[in-house]
Chain A
Amino acid sequence: MSVIQRLSRLLYVLSLVLAASGSGLHGRNNSVSHEYCVLGAGPAGLQMGYFLSRSQRDYIILERNTGPGSFFHIYPRHRKLISINKIYTGRRNKEFNLRHDWNSLLSDRPDLLFQRISQELYPSADDFPRYLSMFVKELGLKVKYGADIGRIKTSDLNGNQGYILTDQNGVSYQCSVLLVSTGLWVPQQVDFLGSDLVEGYESIPTDPEEFKDQAVLILGKGNSAFETAQSILGRASRIHLYSPSPVRLAWQTHYVGDLRAVNNELLDTYQLKSLDGLVEGRLEDIAIVRREKDGGKRRTAKKRSQTPTEGKEQLYLTLTELLDDQNGNNISKVTGQNLPGYHTDNFSLRQPYDRVIRCLGFRFNFSIFDGSARPPQSSGARGRLPGITACYEGRGTPNMFVLGTAAHSRDYRMSAGGFVHGFRYTVRAVHKILEQRYHNIAWPATELSISQLQSWILRRVNEASGPYQMFGVLGDIILLRGSYCEYLEEFPLQALPQLSALSGRLLSDHGLLVLVMQYGLNQTDTLGPGRAESEWTKAWRSNFLHPVLYYYNTLPTEKDMRQRPVSWPLPRPEAVHHMVEDFLTEWDQPISHSQPLRHFLEHCLQTDLRAFYAESCFLLSLTSRTPPLFCRQGYLRKQGIVGNSHLWQHAREAGLMADHQGDTSVSEYLKHAGAAVVSAMNFDL
């Protein structure tokens, strides 16, 4: 019995005890009703719990285990989190620091951060459930532990589709809105001959000594495969990684789900020819066969006693087609002819293995959903995830939303929606959608006068963590309304066509701006020359994460969205502005960042957005019927920016401010020279 099976059985028993005591208190009433049911007390479930609790909704978080984040009690198997916990950023901006804190959940408690638990850059996995427990406790979230939901079905609640969840004790939970944050628990398997001979990542021993001098074949090239390889690198004799696609490096793809450099020691030993290696090939075509060591035909029996491992079976990788006999049936006894090395003498994987380990990732548990309650499989991610809409609602399952890692099909292999540092923001976005849809509370918006827009955009660009982590997925929306605008933060971009319905904010005919953080075309070598662009006029060729603004006259339609340019997050806009990537991610320089942004905004708003000193506004207010916006929204509202002679001098030298005579005057001179100067009144106030 594997560790996990044992563990879950233990937990099951435990939860039975707990559930029994709980139901005992409530008598025999086996039905509970809540407006919101959150399924799973992992990071996504707790994050949603926090927002529901903050908006004082009737909610319950259901968790089958006895504590939050139980996934992290088991995974990652080698107990090192690869999510960055960067405590020192040189900055004290709390929002900015979240850009480099990948483990904390969002809350209004400034100190409820993961760094209270661990100071390690790559913390221990045990710390994460501890952090989650602290999060639950300090925020007083309502979590019901030990409720193992085995069945979910739809039910009609006053004409709306609701859901009924039944736990292991037969207690049923009636929910108007179901928020599924169950994570991914089911190990992904591929069916091939001999797959029963393969060990799973979920159950392999983690003590490297158990792999001493063993040849190991690992199926998969993701982080779990490499993490496993890295752990046994000092003990195993030979480690081969086999999977269909070549290894993808996170530092090349900017996708944190790809191989992280923390785990990639095997690349070193491969490239330096230290007996490890990577091989590509389809998983469905292979077979793993068992053969005794030196399983070939023996000529003599002489050396039998000299074989210490004699009788121990070894595993060979072969192809299904080689195992078929003439009738197409699988043969029972494997001979050398059934192995590829017999046909191709230098076949890469011709040597036998002591162990074959499957590290192919995890899939969503669809089995607990009854027919109509079951979301379809996603089209991407090999169908491992539920298919969901742009606002994270299950396709065909209204009022059921999917959160957390399970919701990664929206940005699979593209952004950070499958990871804590990404989905904490999508959860926040979904919560805002819930507030609008079920409680008619519009998406929060900051009203800004147009003259403040540029500095507000710069503020977001320089500190906002949501669009930075969920690049290309969540973006800020600026609804232009003439002299002012409404600024909506972190809206799911794919849902843009339904902006009004989802946010409760109406569009005006002034159009809208969308601020997105994006990586670039990435056509160059990530570490090679010319990888970074520093010329703002070539900003659209930026390769690293940089802000991009889209301007639309009217809201893009679903069709526009579908037909958007390849690899773009949004359809072709009326005008676009890329702010050139910055080595320090500080987009605040006047020539390269602010002024080009201002020119873009001026184009979109068709107005002059330059700032003017009070004196210039004075001149313009008296000599123009409509002075520039800055003067109208500042000076004429008695908030002009006066400046001082030192600054005016600069502006005059630059030829930007009018020079009106010297401040000397003849009369002053005449006074000085003793001439008769007539002054009947004193006008000094």
Chain B
Amino acid sequence: MHRRGNRTMCIVYLIAFLFSLTSEQCSSKLIEDSSQSFMERMHTGKTSFIYFGNHGETLINVLQMIAEPLSQCAKLSKSHLSDQHISVSVNCSEDAIANYCTGEKLMTKAYLFRGSEVLRSFDIDTVFDVNAIVSHVLFSVLFNEVRYVHTPAELLRVESAAKQNSDIVVGHIPVLGLPEHRALMEAAFVYGTKYQFVQTTGTLVLKHMGVVDPSSSQAWLWFLHCKGVSRRSDPCPSIPMRKPLNTINIHTFLQLMEAPLTEAVLDPSDVDVVHMHLGVPVLYLFSQLQTQQLDWATAQTLALQLRGEVGVVVIHRDGPNVKTSLKYNAAYRLPQEDVKYFTLNSAEGVVKLFKEELLQEHKFEDEEEDEEHWSDLDILDDEVSESVYRDRDLMLDLESVIELTSDTFQITVTQNDITVVLFYFKWDAVCMAFIQSYIEVADALEGMNGVKLAAVNCGEWTDICSDHNVTSFPTVLIYRPMAAAQLYKGMLGTKSLHRFILLSLVSNPYLLSSSAEVMSFLEGDLYSKHMYLTPVRVLGLFSSTHDMGVTSFEEAARLLRGETILGLFAHKEAEQWVEGLSVNLPALLVSRSPGVPYEVYSLPSSSPTDLVSLIKQVELDRFPELTVENLPWYLELGKPLLLLFIGKEDSTESMKALAEIKQLLSSGQLDSFLPCWIHLGRTPVGRSILEKYLGFVPPLPVLVMSRLKTGEEVFLFPPERPLMAKNILQWIHDVENGQEQPAGLIPDGKWGPPVPFFDFLAIMDQEAPTYAAQRAPKMKTGGREDHREQKHGTPNQRQTPHPSPNPQAPRQHSEL
């Protein structure tokens, strides 16, 4: 790394922009960070936005890109903003900050730090456009200004607080950092003092607001008229914004919300209202002196119904400049068009007229979207297929894997101690994704005695696959001479399979003949032999080899080959291993790792398969770190999760939190839960889980309760409270009593078809109307042969010589 830097004479600068938003303006400073100053920045606890880069062309581009949002930010800044600091740092170093400045990630990521914790990372191509920077920067600046709600209940609370006080603008942003997000944030800047801004990402709020299809990732904005409600018990009337979310549209929309009804004494074409400038249709209603009050009421109703979409102007006909003929009582004007007059019969008629015109526009857009959608049909929408497809150039190096054929199969599987056979299809993306892992395992095990990895292409050797009853693909079977094939039931990944094969080589169970051996098995030499495979040891303790349970235990051990290391101690000394414990022989002793107290369970006499499930169950960690590979084992328990998210650095706080929960666990107070934790360093996908749960990633560690099976709510342990056993218990108690508001929701979305299907029938009906139609019942029915006969019956008759006067008939010499 260093050498490359020197060789290329790459001059790397550490530069940082630091701009702070003060009470009057945005002042920005370009800070060039050295590793030292970067370090210090990390410890200030302030929010900083950092980009790591080399000095050069890219940097200049980046600087330009950043300059713009900064100046915009200066324009937008409002007095209420606190003096938080946001530093935008562009820095890099070839030495110290190696993790950020090296590897593929260089120049492709920027990070938002709060102190030393990465709040978010952004792909450079999304973050370094103006939209994203502004939205992300403002997003963090306005963290306390804009209310975040996740549930309708929270929204209602904001509403009731705002009633008779201020109006509310609610924005639903499905994806943070996109232009819609920027638009909302900018609006919040400008109108933040005037309206209460609320942002949500939850779909429940969408449902609450009456959106029909909450699953579509569309941004929404509503205006809630809370200021004008007459009684506090009344709901705030809400108006959705029907146009795409951008700054102009929001601005227009908010303007329209301000003044829905105007009066004038001019002819419609002369009336100048704000709506015309906003590109919004205007409806003119003519009012007469006699019916003024009634007209005004009608106009108000209409104005309310059309608010946000149409401006309403009441024109007093008695004005001298009003020249409209008396036969019309209304007019409208679309943007960039002339005034059109018409006669208003009912208020509903006008609403319908406008809504349908507006709807038409919508339909048009939808169709366009559809067309675009169909052109995307040739893009793979399946992550496994697509990733395999992208490798279609790649020749798989199957050298370390034996490709089996009908001729070689039988010989091969009996030759080795263990022959692992993968059954696969070449056209199946899942198989082809797995085969990469399979080759990795084969490479890792190459040269190991007694183990061979082989593969059968079932597209070719269909007979082998049928003979071995393989109906699911990919399938991995383990063959041992003179034994039935064993199905590999673990994760289809390199690590799991590799471990399984190595564990399969361990004799199971270990027959232990003395207490010394037992000791060795649990934490001595015998233990360390396989320590790298698994730290867990399970020991069957029987008072003698004649115990009925021994054979059953041995059979269970065989079934668990590759999964668990089991020991068997059938000896009169076995008694002393359970001495002082409330368990009698036969017993099961579980050691999670040396030095940790054993757990002991009594062993009922049962069938080997029951024993297998018992052993698997006791093997489970009581406070597991959830990983991608082990989650299914724990979800099976069906308990609500008490999930602690731990940051990448193992901070004291995290360690304390873990210890606190462990303490609760050992006191038995968490029995109805599955307490577990996710380490975001080892399991980075945990961050996405937090984002889905809460809509954002709070400072870690964070404790969350998720009732996957029983409810849809996610509860967040209040971040301001210390993560202490006592507080946790109290919180759990509050949650159970319904005193805690959920912080997020787990959607019970049905996984329907991800794309509309390509309807061949509809296309047939369109292009060949009779082709796919059932025959009419009156028609002569019958099999296809009848039809065929009829079809070629016609030409026959045409060419048939007529029996009567024409003797020339048979000359039909058809020159086909």
Bound pair (A, B)? yes
A452-B471, A455-B428 are contacts. A625–B760 as well, Cβ < 8 Å?
Answer: no
Interface string of B423-447 (1 = CB under 8 A from A): 0011111110110110010000000
The verdict on A584 contacting chain B, using a C-beta distance below 8 Å, is no
A669–B100 touching, CB < 8 Å: yes
- Flag whether B332 is at the interface (Cβ < 8 A): no
Could you tell me the distance between the alpha carbons of A685 and B623 in the complex, rounded to whole angstroms? 13
- Residue B396, interface by CB 8 Å: no
Write the nearest CB–CB distance from B721 to chain A, whole angstroms: 21
**Is B652 in contact with chain A by the CB < 8 A criterion?**
yes
Given known pairs A93-B461, A463-B459, the reply for A644 and B436 (CB within 8 Å) is: yes
- Provide the residues of chain B in CB contact with A410, threshold 8 Å: 783
Whether a CB of chain A sits under 8 angstroms from the CB of B143 is: no
| Segment of B269-277, B293-301, B745-753 in the binding face | B745-753
Asked whether B555 is an interface residue with its Cβ less than 8 Å from the other chain, the reply is no
Q: Which residues of A contact B400 (CB under 8 A)?
A: none
Q: Please give, as numbers and ranges, the residues of chain A lying within 8 Å of B218 by CB-CB distance.
A: none
* A623-667 Cβ-contact flags toward B at 8 Å (1 or 0): 111111100000111111111101111110110111111111111
Bound CA span A344–B386, Å:
73
Pick the interface stretch among B281-289, B576-584, B797-805.
B797-805
Q: Work out how many contacts link A and B, with CB atoms closer than 8 A.
A: 443
Q: In the complex, which residues 791-816 of chain B have their Cβ closer than 8 Å to any Cβ of chain A?
A: 792, 795-796, 799-801, 803-804, 807-814, 816
Q: Is the CB of B383 within 8 A of A610?
A: yes
B328 close to chain A: CB less than 8 A = no
Inter-subunit contact A678/B652 (CB<8 Å): yes
Question: In this assembly, does B324 line the interface, its C-beta being within 8 Å of a C-beta of chain A?
Answer: no
Which B residues lie within 8 Å of A379 (CB)? Answer: 782-783, 785-786
| B775 pairs with A246, CB closer than 8 A | no
| Stretch of A6-14, A64-72, A198-206, A590-598 on the interface side | A590-598
Residues of A with C-beta under 8 A to B253? none
Q: Is the CB of B679 within 8 A of A683?
A: yes
How far is A668 from B804 in the complex, measured between Cα atoms in Å? 105
Q: Which of B655, B685, B808 contacts A681 (CB 8 A)?
A: B655
Contact B799 A600 (CB under 8 A): no
Inter-subunit contact B387/A643 (CB<8 Å): yes
Q: Which of A326-334, A505-513, A573-581 contacts B (4 or more CB under 8 A)?
A: A573-581
The digit string for B360-372, where 1 denotes a CB below 8 A from any CB of A, is 0000000000000
Q: How far is the CB of A540 from chain B (nearest CB, A)?
A: 5
Q: Which residues of B have CB within 8 Å of A608? A: 751-754
Q: Interface with B: A145-153, A293-301, A557-565, which one?
A: A557-565
- Complex CA–CA separation, A472 to B331 (angstroms): 64
Please tell me if the beta carbons of B760 and A578 are within 8 angstroms of each other in the complex: yes
Binds A, one of B21-29, B257-265, B309-317, B643-651: B643-651
Given contacts A458-B428, A611-B382, A657-B383, contact A640 B492 (CB under 8 A): yes
B812-A644 in contact (CB<8A): no
Contact A281 B809 (CB under 8 A): yes
Nearest-neighbour CB distance to chain B for A28, whole angstroms, equals 48
Which of A48-56, A158-166, A346-354, A432-440 is the contact stretch?
Answer: A346-354
Whether, in the assembled complex, B661 has its beta carbon less than 8 Å from a beta carbon of chain A, the answer is no
Q: Which residues of B contact A463 (CB under 8 A)?
A: 459, 462
Partner of B632, one of A96, A628, A636: A636
In the complex, what distance in Å separates the CA atom of A537 from the CA atom of B378?
10
Q: Are B650 and A683 in contact (CB under 8 A)?
A: yes
Contacts A449-B472, A614-B493, A665-B118: A462 and B42 contacting too (C-beta < 8 A)? no
Q: Taking each of B123, B427, B792, which has the highest tally of chain A beta carbons within 10 Å of its own beta carbon?
A: B427
Answer whether A590 and B625 are a contact pair too, CB < 8 Å, given A566-B787, A638-B633, A662-B105: no
Residue B68 interfacial (CB < 8 Å): no
- The answer to whether B625 and A683 have CB atoms under 8 Å apart is yes
How long is the Cα–Cα vector from A95 to B465 in the complex, in angstroms? 12
The complex places the Cα of A411 from the Cα of B816 at a distance, in Å, of: 27
Say whether A459 contacts B816, CB under 8 Å: no
Q: A362 vs B388: C-alpha distance in the bound complex, in angstroms? A: 56
Q: Are B784 and A569 in contact (CB under 8 A)?
A: yes
- Interface presence of A319 (CB below 8 A): yes
What CA separation (Å) do A91 and B463 show in the bound complex?
A: 13
- A84 CB within 8 Å of chain B: no
Stretch at the interface among B158-166, B518-526, B706-714: B706-714
Q: Contact: A650 with B490, CB < 8 Å?
A: no
- A488–B428 alpha-carbon span in the complex (Å): 21
Residues of A within 8 A of B689 (CB): 619, 622-623
Contacting A at CB under 8 A, from B679-725, are 679-681, 683-689, 692-693, 706, 708-709, 712
Chain B min CB distance to A485 (Å): 11
Residues on A with beta carbons closer than 8 Å to the beta carbon of B760: 539-540, 575-578
Of the candidate stretches B91-99, B176-184, B337-345, B414-422, the one touching chain A is B91-99
- In the complex with contacts A246-B814, A459-B458, A611-B383 CB distance below 8 A: yes
The A666-685 residues at the B interface (CB cut-off 8 A) are: 666-670, 672-673, 675, 677-681, 683, 685
For B798, the closest partner residue in chain A by CB is: A280
Q: Using Cβ atoms and an 8 Å threshold, which residues of chain B touch A656?
A: 381-383, 386-387
In the bound complex, how far is the Cα of B754 from the Cα of A114, in angstroms? 48
Among B6-14, B234-242, B766-774, the stretch that binds chain A is B766-774
Given contacts A285-B801, A462-B427, A618-B685, contact A455 B473 (CB under 8 A): yes
- Most chain A CB inside 10 Å of its own CB: which residue of B425, B689, B774, B800: B774
How far does the Cβ of B22 sit from chain A's closest Cβ, in whole Å?
28
Q: Which residues of A contact B757 (CB under 8 A)?
A: 575, 599-600, 602-603
Q: Is A503 interfacial (CB-CB < 8 Å)?
A: no
How many whole Å from A519's CB to the nearest CB in chain B?
Answer: 12
> Which of B377, B431, B472 has the most A CB atoms < 10 Å from its CB?
B472
Contact of B433 among A588, A643, A662 (CB under 8 A): A643
Determine if B751 and A621 form an interchain contact, defined as CB atoms under 8 angstroms apart. Answer: no
State in angstroms the CA–CA spacing of A562 and B774 once bound together: 9
Q: Which residues of A contact B430 (CB under 8 A)?
A: 455, 611, 641
Whether the Cβ atoms of B816 and A340 lie closer than 8 Å is: no
CA distance in complex: A526, B560 (Å): 61
Q: Does A560 contact B774, Cβ atoms closer than 8 Å?
A: yes
Query: Which of B35, B689, B811 neighbours the largest number of chain A CB atoms within 10 Å of its CB?
Result: B811
Q: In the complex, A411 Cα to B785 Cα: how many Å?
A: 7
Flag B119-148 by CB within 8 Å of A: 1 or 0 each: 001010000000000000000000000000
| Interface presence of A524 (CB below 8 A) | no
Q: What's the minimum C-beta distance from B484 to chain A, rounded to whole angstroms?
A: 20
**B747 x A681 contact (CB < 8 A):** no
Contact B427 A662 (CB under 8 A): no
Partner of A615, one of B388, B628, B782, B810: B628
In the complex, what distance in Å separates the CA atom of A670 from the CA atom of B117? 11
A93 pairs with B752, CB closer than 8 A:
no
Instruction: Assess whether B785 is in contact with A588, with CB atoms less than 8 Å apart.
Output: no
Q: Which residues of B contact A600 (CB under 8 A)?
A: 757-758
B247 located at the interface, meaning its Cβ lies under 8 Å from any Cβ of chain A in the complex? no
Contacts of A636 in B (CB 8 A): 632, 635-636
Which chain B positions have C-beta within 8 A of A565? 770-775
Are B386 and A650 in contact, CB atoms less than 8 angstroms apart? yes
Q: Which residues of B contact A57 (CB under 8 A)?
A: none
CA distance A410 to B658 in the complex (A): 74
CA distance in complex: A603, B760 (Å)? 12
CA distance A574 to B795 in the complex (A): 36
Determine the residue in chain B with the shortest Cβ distance to A344: B808
The 7 closest A-B pairs by CB, nearest first: A642-B493, A667-B649, A588-B427, A665-B648, A380-B785, A603-B757, A650-B387
Chain B residues with CB under 8 Å of chain A are 35, 39, 42, 96-100, 103, 105, 109, 113, 116-118, 121, 123, 374, 377-378, 380-391, 405-406, 425-431, 433-434, 436-437, 440, 458-463, 471-473, 489-496, 535, 625, 628-629, 631-633, 635-636, 641, 647-652, 655, 658, 679-681, 683-689, 692-693, 706, 708-709, 712, 746-755, 757-761, 763-764, 770-777, 779, 781-789, 792, 795-796, 799-801, 803-804, 807-814, 816
6 A-B interface contacts by CB (under 8 A) = A96-B462, A244-B800, A281-B810, A576-B761, A621-B635, A624-B746
